[in-house]
């Protein structure tokens, strides 16, 4: 049986606060290093709450919410679509890392 995570879960909130502070302030000029890949994987794994190796739209919304961001539904679906390169409705680590790197160079 799946466990429903809520924003009241203090430990999870603490982890996402850490994610927000560390990940969102990365020096993107260092993306070529393996350390950045490790940090991206850690961030991805934190958002992939069911640990299936993909981030679903629901997990992405929860991750964005826990990071303290508010995105309207219409904008959110565009963001999910932007990261879903193969159109399967979910985001793999490869799609996540590739698109984060693209955004960092814009």
Identify which of 62, 97, 65 has the alpha carbon closest to the alpha carbon of residue 83: 97
- Cβ pair 66, 23 in contact under 8 A: no
d(CA 7, CA 91): 22
Reply yes or no on whether the pLDDT at 27 is more than 80. Answer: no
- Cβ pair 42, 34 in contact under 8 A: no
- Cβ pair 90, 54 in contact under 8 A: yes
Convert the pLDDT of each residue in 33-88 to its tens digit.
Answer: 677 788 889 999 999 999 999 999 889 888 888 888 887 777 777 777 888 999 99
- Cβ pair 30, 3 in contact under 8 A: no
Enumerate the domain spans of the chain.
56-106
């Amino acid at each position: 049986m799946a466990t429903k995570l809520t924003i009241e879960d203090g430990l999870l909130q603490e982890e996402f606060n850490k994610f927000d502070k560390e990940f969102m302030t990365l020096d993107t000029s260092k993306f070529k290093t393996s350390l950045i890949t490790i940090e991206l994987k850690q961030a991805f794994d934190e958002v992939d709450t069911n640990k299936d190796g993909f981030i679903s739209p629901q997990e992405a919304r929860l991750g964005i919410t826990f990071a303290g961001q508010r995105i309207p539904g219409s904008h959110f679906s565009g963001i999910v679509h932007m990261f879903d390169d193969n159109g399967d409705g979910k985001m793999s680590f490869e799609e996540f890392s590739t698109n984060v790197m693209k955004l960092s160079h814009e």
